[in-house]
Amino acid sequence: MVVKLASGHPLVQDKISRLRETSTPSEEFRRLVKELSLLLGVEATQDLETTGVEVTTPLTTCTTQRISTSLALVPILRAGLGMLEGLSYLLPQAEIWHLGLYRDEESLQPVEYYNKLPQGAATKSAYLLDPMLATGGSAIAAVDVLKKWGCSHIRFLGILGAPEGVEALEKAHPDVEIHLCALDSHLNELGYIVPGLGDAGDRQFNTLSHSE
């Protein structure tokens, strides 16, 4: 499995603990998702390519390093929107595109309902954002779309994952690195991550009476 976890960091552990708590209100939940995404993004971007540029400081000139890779942030609607704010703050130069996928609650299969990617890949590298990697179906479908679009380097960034989803994504797309804040125990009979945190979209947007 090509999985990289950021769960060893005390800040990550603390924030995930608060995310899991049923009593955490939506506004705090959104803030925690943003902060965890920022921490995860630092881990996931450690090997970005850079190039040397000469800059003028108040004292002299010097050669420094700047990111040279073209990037896209691709949140899977709607839950992935919560991760976008933190990642776009970290990577303001990245292009932002959206994919709309939802999980059919009976078949647990992804259904695409929104895709506004332009003709021809705008970037070679994309970070796919979704807080939950449960069955892996939505992530696999999204990677399929991005590869067809022309992306040659894709990474999945999520808050929580289940072994079943990780295995499914790794089997379908072994070249895709998976970055998670935590890997949980298993999926229940409804396809939810256990112990998990419930439905990330509903908890972010305070729509607990509706399904994702």
Domain ranges in the chain are: 3-47+70-205
pLDDT of the residue at 75 = 94
pLDDT of the residue at 108 = 64
- Let me know: does 68 contact 45? Beta carbons within 8 Å: no
Lookup result for tokens 């992804």: 110
pTM score: 0.88
* Spatial separation of the C-alpha atoms in residues 24 and 39, rounded to whole Å: 20
User: Is 107 strand, coil or helix?
Assistant: coil
pLDDT tens digits for the chain (212 residues)? Answer: 567 877 778 999 999 999 999 999 999 999 999 999 999 999 899 988 899 999 999 999 999 999 988 889 999 988 889 999 899 999 999 999 988 877 676 776 778 888 878 776 666 789 999 999 999 999 999 999 899 888 889 999 999 999 999 999 999 999 999 999 999 999 999 889 999 998 888 888 877 754 33
Give all strands (DSSP E) within the chain, no chain letters.
3-5, 50-56, 61-67, 71-77, 95-96, 99-103, 110-115, 125-129, 132-133, 153-161, 177-183, 186-187, 193-194
pLDDT of the residue at 55 = 96
- Let me know: does 178 contact 151? Beta carbons within 8 Å: no
Q: Which CATH number fits domain 3-47+70-205: 3.40.720.10, 1.10.287.1080, 3.40.50.2020, 3.40.190.10?
A: 3.40.50.2020
Q: Which of 23, 126, 130, 115 is nearest to 82 (CA)?
A: 130
* Backbone angles phi and psi of 57, in degrees to 5: -95, 175
* Spatial separation of the C-alpha atoms in residues 113 and 134, rounded to whole Å: 19
* Backbone angles phi and psi of 134, in degrees to 5: -95, -90
53: exposed, middle or buried (C-beta count within 10 Å: 0-12, 13-18, 19+)? Answer: exposed
pLDDT of the residue at 203 = 87
